[in-house]
Amino acid sequence: MLSGGAALKLSPNAMTVLEKRYLKRDETGKVAETSEELFWRVAEHVAQVDAMYDPSADVPATAEKFYGPMASLEFLPNSPTLMNAGRSLGQLSACFVLPIEDSMESIFEAIKNTALIHQSGGGTGFSFSRLRPKGDVVKSTGGIASGPISFMEVFDAATEAIKQGGTRRGANMAIQRVDHPDIMDFITAKADDSRLNNFNTSVGLTREFMEALRRDATYALVNPRSGDAVRRLRARAVFRKISEMAWRNGDPGVIFLDRLNESNPTPLAGEIESTNPCGEQPLLPFESCNLGSIDLSKMLVDGKIDYQHLEETVHCAVHFLDNIIDCNKYPLREIEEMTLANRKIGLGVMGFAHMLIRLRIPYDSEEAVNTAEELMSFIQESARQASAALAERRGVFPNFAGSIYDAPGRRKKMRNATVTTIAPTGSISIIAGTSSGIEPIFALAYRRHVLEGTGLLEVDSIFEEVALEQGFHSQELMKKVAKTGSVQKLEGVPAEIRRILATAHDIAPEWHIRLQAAFQKYTDNAVSKTINFSHDATREDVERAYLLAYDMGCKGVTIYRDGSRASQVLTRGVAEADRKRDTRGPRARPTVTHGVTEKITVGCGQSIYVTINEDQEGLFEVFATMGKSGGCMASQSEAIGRLISLALRSGIRTEVIIKQLQGIRCPAPAWQEGNIILSCADAIGKSMHRHVNDSATVAFAASTADMIARNLLGMCPECPDCGTMVEFVEGCLRCPSCGYSQCG
């Protein structure tokens, strides 16, 4: 551990993330806090809780004890704690689940509560299983129910309208039971990539369904309003549709509801119906959970796991996370009551892949599986010992009576209903300079886009470390790795090194699942993990993965097929070579054209300059230039301009082109003079529309209501903050450069 005066060693990427999202700012927006001050702010705030239980407690000593693991980047709590501890907002939890009952009052109360949670920096999970199906009767009005999907759209729009405390985007999990009458609509709800992009979705599979699937039988769909079975579906057909949609774009995932409730530590307090946005934290209605992760790559000494230091870090982390429960400012009274009643915490890990590489253990090996089980078993037992020690001093959690710990033969005093969770660690793993969660390395190198269009080659620290140590490091090799992110097909890298440097897409899905199951075996809550598939994987491959995960004891599964989201814009049909070629050509460009240039601000903080020129026949060409050159966005806007010009010069009607451009949405809409700009393409289309109508006051096609009613996040492969290509890990789109996460 670092002493209070030791200097922090943070990477440039870590400093970028801290400055962008975590460090305090003054009234002018200027950063007004160092990284050391951030960790002291958090440590001192959380340490004050000790005095609540022992007036003679040495709070400064506890603060220094908490500061050490954070400053050495050996342990970091979830992002809201780093952002808000010791500040006026004071909301420190990342995970919440809210109930939704089958009434208009409950639905819109949940929407209001969601807004409050997102505003405070948290993410929310819901089960929509209690809502009556589409077309069902509404006795109070004589009307017809619109069904759960319609209300999910409303939640989605509310989330889009609220940015989490200005630092985190709202994120939701929607779960629906497989026996709900509207299940097929739910499974296909995200077939269109532009819908429900503030939601992850998961189908809640029941034991009855899984048994019907094994027997190739039917199962009953039950109306939640009446409890009556309304019809039956063939389990195999439903399972194939789930697998097909996940194969297409990653949604929905699946969770195994009965398995969640088998390990529900407080069954008398309620049934678990939902999880947090990334699926690793099953929670009762109105529960929250505080998470934190230990960097396993920093738990090594002389090529071995230092279990003594790991145990000390676990005990410190459990103490820290338990204190958070008491110093937290909860967004709702009901959440405070339920959280204090169960006192759930979720200690997890990050840096697992980096640790394996340093130990020279391939990720896809029996040795890695055994190491995972050994490590997590030790962490869970140490965490339970730490919780039991706190219970002796502070008392058990209030719902202890009737909990699994109070059962005959298992009686053991515990301070916390749960102690372990494997969470995604998008931003905090960048701060720690380590691999994310228990995921393999996504890519060994990538290109990071910075200001003025400059591209910097970013190489994974562990890869550079191994390359230098083994003597095969070279700039030429780095350039080759940057193109693919992998060394599997590169000469000059020893075979044994290629074996341990396998990236996510180098590893077969079976090994992803086996590692998830290994960690799940010794985790109280659940495990956040993406099962990566190659682009040419089949739907049957996805089906086999789901069944393997179920058989191996996983609580849920998220899969992602490489490039599947981009492939959704493609359709199968007649090959381009078989189509009749159009020999039409564009009319020649005169030496002089006349036109205007309009500056429009778009949502990513840049300006786009739209130049529209005419010849004797009318609109002739369009140039679209970004305020800063270089990068994917600038090249795309230039390409749009060229294609518009080609269409205009080839005789395509202007209004047809405008209609195609207006309404296209990107992750970051903007406002200009009271009008909404949905994207660069939308800006160009509206500029052309104004030019044609010779008026700067032509109403925009999209209204404010339309913006709110439709989700604007889109599926752009670029990070909306820094321009780096995003990656799909731990069930969410995440930027490996600046820490942006679609899931908050």
Predicted confidence (pLDDT) per residue in 714-725, tens digit = 445 567 666 666
Q: What is the dihedral of CA 419, 421, 426, 429, to 10 degrees?
A: 60
Q: Which residues contact 442 (CB under 8 A, 6 or more apart)?
A: 436, 485, 503, 504, 727, 729, 736
In angstroms, the CA 664 to CA 681 distance is 6
Token pair recorded at residue 181: 């009458």
The pTM is what?
0.79
What's the mean pLDDT in 65-70? 98
pLDDT, position 399 = 97
Give tens-digit pLDDT for 185-212: 999 999 887 789 899 999 999 999 999 9
pLDDT, position 713 = 37
Q: Token match 């949405």: residue?
A: 665
Helix (H) / strand (E) element for 241: namely helix 235-249
pLDDT, position 126 = 98
pLDDT, position 679 = 84
Lowest mean pLDDT among 266-280, 302-316, 680-694, 703-717: 703-717
Q: Is residue 407 packed enough to be buried (19+ CB in 10 Å), middle (13-18) or exposed (0-12)?
A: exposed
Establish whether 271 is a catalytic residue. no
Regarding predicted confidence, which is higher, 183 or 574? 183
Mapped onto helix, strand or coil, the DSSP state of residue 442 is coil
pLDDT, position 443 = 87
Establish whether 223 is a catalytic residue. no
In angstroms, the CA 344 to CA 111 distance is 24
What's the mean pLDDT in 729-736? 71
Of the residues 64, 280, 311, 458, only one is catalytic, namely: 280
Give tens-digit pLDDT for 630-667: 567 777 888 888 888 888 887 787 878 888 888 787 76
What's the mean pLDDT in 130-144? 87
Lowest mean pLDDT among 17-31, 48-62, 426-440, 555-569: 555-569
Statement: residue 561 has pLDDT above 50: yes
Rounded percentage of the chain residues whose pLDDT exceeds 70: 86
Tell me the pLDDT band of 358, cut-offs 50, 70 and 90.
very high
Give CA angle at 665 (187, 650), nearest 5°.
115
CA-closest candidate to residue 235, choices 220, 224, 257, 253: 220
Handedness of CA 105, 257, 429, 386 (dihedral sign): positive
Establish whether 172 is a catalytic residue. no
Statement: residue 544 has pLDDT above 90: yes
What's the mean pLDDT in 102-129? 94
In angstroms, the CA 208 to CA 215 distance is 11
Statement: residue 546 has pLDDT above 70: yes
List of E strands, 153-287: 163-164, 168-169, 172-177, 199-205, 218-222, 229-234, 253-256, 274-275, 282-283
Whether the Cβ atoms of residue 610 and residue 683 lie closer than 8 Å to each other = yes
pLDDT, position 344 = 98
In angstroms, the CA 227 to CA 585 distance is 65
In angstroms, the CA 14 to CA 82 distance is 14
Statement: residue 711 has pLDDT above 70: no
What's the mean pLDDT in 726-730? 70
In angstroms, the CA 542 to CA 532 distance is 10
List of E strands, 548-696: 556-561, 594-601, 607-615, 618-626, 670-672, 675-677
Q: Token match 């050391």: residue?
A: 36
Q: What Cα–Cα distance (Å) separates residue 152 from each residue in 110, 530, 607?
A: 11, 24, 34
In angstroms, the CA 76 to CA 292 distance is 6
Tell me the pLDDT band of 628, cut-offs 50, 70 and 90.
low
pLDDT, position 616 = 62
Q: Token match 């999907």: residue?
A: 149
In angstroms, the CA 300 to CA 185 distance is 49
What's the mean pLDDT in 516-540? 96
Whether the Cβ atoms of residue 335 and residue 288 lie closer than 8 Å to each other = yes
Q: Is residue 89 packed enough to be buried (19+ CB in 10 Å), middle (13-18) or exposed (0-12)?
A: middle
In this structure, which amino acid lies at residue 720? P
Of the residues 278, 289, 738, 743, only one is catalytic, namely: 278
In angstroms, the CA 452 to CA 312 distance is 46
CA-closest candidate to residue 81, choices 11, 168, 12, 5: 168
CB atoms within 10 A of CB 106: 15
Statement: residue 340 has pLDDT above 80: yes
Mapped onto helix, strand or coil, the DSSP state of residue 45 is helix
In angstroms, the CA 593 to CA 620 distance is 8
Tell me the pLDDT band of 475, cut-offs 50, 70 and 90.
confident
Give tens-digit pLDDT for 590-613: 766 778 888 888 877 678 888 888
Q: Residue 629 carries which DSSP code?
A: -
pLDDT, position 645 = 84
Whether the Cβ atoms of residue 612 and residue 684 lie closer than 8 Å to each other = no
Token pair recorded at residue 316: 């410190």
Tell me the pLDDT band of 677, cut-offs 50, 70 and 90.
confident
pLDDT, position 167 = 52
Beta-bridge partner residues of 168 = 164
Tell me the pLDDT band of 272, cut-offs 50, 70 and 90.
very high
pLDDT, position 674 = 59
pLDDT, position 706 = 37
pLDDT, position 731 = 66
Statement: residue 215 has pLDDT above 90: yes
Beta-bridge partner residues of 598 = 610
- Output phi, psi for 189, to 5 deg: -60, -30
In angstroms, the CA 694 to CA 347 distance is 62
Regarding predicted confidence, which is higher, 743 or 78? 78
pLDDT, position 58 = 98
Rounded to the nearest integer, the mean pLDDT of the chain is 86
Tell me the pLDDT band of 161, cut-offs 50, 70 and 90.
confident
Statement: residue 448 has pLDDT above 70: no
In this structure, which amino acid lies at residue 514? R
- Output phi, psi for 203, to 5 deg: -90, 130
Helix pair angle (509-520, 366-394), 10° resolution: 30
Rounded percentage of the chain residues whose pLDDT exceeds 90: 60
Statement: residue 574 has pLDDT above 70: no
Of the residues 198, 276, 323, 711, only one is catalytic, namely: 276
In angstroms, the CA 24 to CA 18 distance is 9
Helix (H) / strand (E) element for 517: namely helix 509-520
CA 149 from centroid of its chain's CA atoms: 21
Tell me the pLDDT band of 571, cut-offs 50, 70 and 90.
very low
Q: Token match 């799909």: residue?
A: 728
pLDDT, position 727 = 72
- Output phi, psi for 697, to 5 deg: -115, 15
What's the mean pLDDT in 384-394? 98
